[in-house]
């Protein structure tokens, strides 16, 4: 079984996109916000948005299950206020839930949190609890920069974030560190802001004792850990100079990188420097980087090919494709059992 731990609903039905447009227009016009109750999406609309896209790609590439969250760039935590974010997150999560109900063998939910710049992260707890306890989600995306590229929030290791970590541990779900769209023109969303955030989070984790304070907390840094693997020597040296634990010690069974690196040499390097126990298979399909690599003839985000080509044992590849995900998402196994999906 192959679990893709990082997929987004980038093919949302039109009524959802239209609601977001109305929400933003109302903010601009200082008009009353639209009601989410007006959004009606049929099962057929959900099916057709998935069948020819994410589901087709799963089948073509031979992967089985996608850990699925709302479009990351669409979270837009910097837009409007806390209430804007609360309504939008709830609606977005409800759409993920509908997909997981229609395709229970193929998709499992991860929540968007209703973060907002300057608002205490603990305000996200009710939505996180709803998603895990009522909608059966197994994780959430946590935005380290709800300002959208202006970095006004404290580091992820600051006590500011601790209430949400306490809840993550209590619910036994991980957070993927995932920014949303950049509203700072200096940072391209997927080309710079995402990778900056991944790299920034990794350095923050090196500098502090977050995982000593929360031995059961699990975090995932997507996009291959940002620039960290390529600069592994820099981070090893910094950890050493700062009298911090070695990188594998720091990562322990708390911190994981995914395989959303869109070329073979990048995956080769990732597998060479990062402990295999800390790597999770993912593709971020679909849409993070579209198109076919003319040097290989395959789509950039067809990451299974790169992992299959690694000079690793079958046992190590199984860790990346399956067993590490079961560790990183502690509720995953029981959820799959409940759905009658055998894990092997």
| Residue 71 beta carbon to Zn ion: minimum distance, rounded to whole angstroms | 9
* Contact pick of 67, 72, 210, 279 for Zn ion (by CB under 5 A): 72
Contact flag: residue 175 with Zn ion (CB under 5 A): no
Contact flag: residue 5 with Zn ion (CB under 5 A): no
| Residue 222 beta carbon to Zn ion: minimum distance, rounded to whole angstroms | 5
Catalytic annotation, pick one of 12, 127, 284, 299: 284
| Residue 338 beta carbon to Zn ion: minimum distance, rounded to whole angstroms | 26
Of 12 and 284, nearer to Zn ion (C-beta) is 284
In whole angstroms, what is the distance from residue 116 CA to residue 124 CA? 9
Contact (CB, 8 A) for 127 and 114: yes
Contact flag: residue 195 with Zn ion (CB under 5 A): no
Backbone phi, psi, residue 104, to 5°: -65, -20
Of 127 and 198, nearer to Zn ion (C-beta) is 198
Of 284 and 302, nearer to Zn ion (C-beta) is 284
Of 84 and 141, nearer to Zn ion (C-beta) is 141
Closest to 6 measured CA to CA, from 328, 337, 338: 328
What tokens does 180 get?
């949303």
Task: Please list, residue by residue across 122-159, b when 16 or more beta carbons sit within 10 angstroms of its beta carbon and e when fewer do.
Answer: ebbbebbebbbeebbbbbbbbbbbbbbbebebebbbee
Task: Tell me the window of 51-59, 206-214, 282-290, 318-326 that interacts with Zn ion (CB under 5 A).
Answer: 282-290
| Residue 30 beta carbon to Zn ion: minimum distance, rounded to whole angstroms | 32
284 catalytic? Reply is yes
Q: In the complex, which residue's CB is closest to Zn ion?
A: 72
What tokens does 57 get?
């790609």
Instruction: State the residue for tokens 């990346």.
Output: 320
| Residue 223 beta carbon to Zn ion: minimum distance, rounded to whole angstroms | 7
Task: Tell me the window of 68-76, 94-102, 310-318, 323-331 that interacts with Zn ion (CB under 5 A).
Answer: 68-76
Strands (E), the chain: 3-9, 65-70, 107-109, 111-112, 140-142, 175-177, 219-221, 255-258, 279-280, 292-293, 298-299
In whole angstroms, what is the distance from residue 86 CA to residue 94 CA? 12
Q: How many residues bind Zn ion (CB under 5 A)?
A: 2
In whole angstroms, what is the distance from residue 88 CA to residue 224 CA? 28
- Can you give the binding site for Zn ion, defined by CB under 5 A? 72, 284
Would you name the residues annotated as active-site residues? 284
């Amino acid at each position: 079984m192959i679990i893709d731990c990082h997929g987004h609903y980038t093919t949302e039905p039109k009524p959802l996109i239209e609601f977001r447009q109305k929400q933003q227009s109302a903010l601009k016009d200082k008009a009353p916000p639209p009601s989410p109750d007006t959004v009606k999406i049929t099962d057929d609309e959900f099916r057709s948005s998935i069948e020819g896209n994410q589901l087709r790609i799963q089948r073509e590439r031979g992967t089985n299950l996608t850990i699925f969250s709302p479009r990351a760039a669409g979270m837009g935590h910097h837009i409007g206020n806390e209430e804007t974010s609360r309504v939008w997150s709830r609606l977005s999560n409800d759409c993920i839930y509908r997909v997981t109900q229609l395709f229970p063998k193929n998709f499992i939910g991860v929540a968007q949190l209703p973060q907002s710049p300057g608002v205490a992260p603990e305000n996200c707890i009710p939505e996180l609890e709803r998603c895990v306890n009522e909608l059966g989600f197994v994780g959430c995306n946590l935005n380290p920069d709800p300002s959208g590229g202006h970095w006004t929030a404290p580091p992820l290791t600051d006590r500011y974030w601790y209430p949400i970590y306490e809840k993550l541990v209590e619910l036994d779900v991980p957070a993927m560190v995932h920014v949303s769209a950049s509203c700072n023109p200096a940072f391209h969303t997927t080309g710079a802001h995402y990778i900056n955030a991944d790299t920034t989070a990794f350095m923050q984790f090196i500098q502090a004792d977050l995982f000593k304070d929360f031995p059961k907390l699990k975090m995932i840094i997507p996009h291959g850990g940002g620039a960290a693997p390529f600069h592994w020597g820099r981070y090893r040296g910094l950890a050493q100079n700062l009298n911090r634990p070695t990188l594998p010690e720091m990562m322990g069974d708390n911190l994981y990188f995914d395989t959303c690196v869109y070329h073979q040499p990048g995956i080769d390097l990732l597998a060479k420097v990062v402990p295999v126990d800390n790597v999770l298979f993912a593709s971020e399909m679909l849409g993070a980087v579209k198109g076919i690599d003319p040097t290989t003839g395959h789509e950039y985000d067809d990451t299974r090919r790169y992992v299959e080509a690694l000079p690793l044992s079958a046992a190590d590849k199984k860790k990346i494709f399956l067993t590490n995900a079961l560790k990183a998402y502690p509720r995953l196994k029981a959820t799959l059992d409940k759905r009658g999906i055998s894990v092997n």
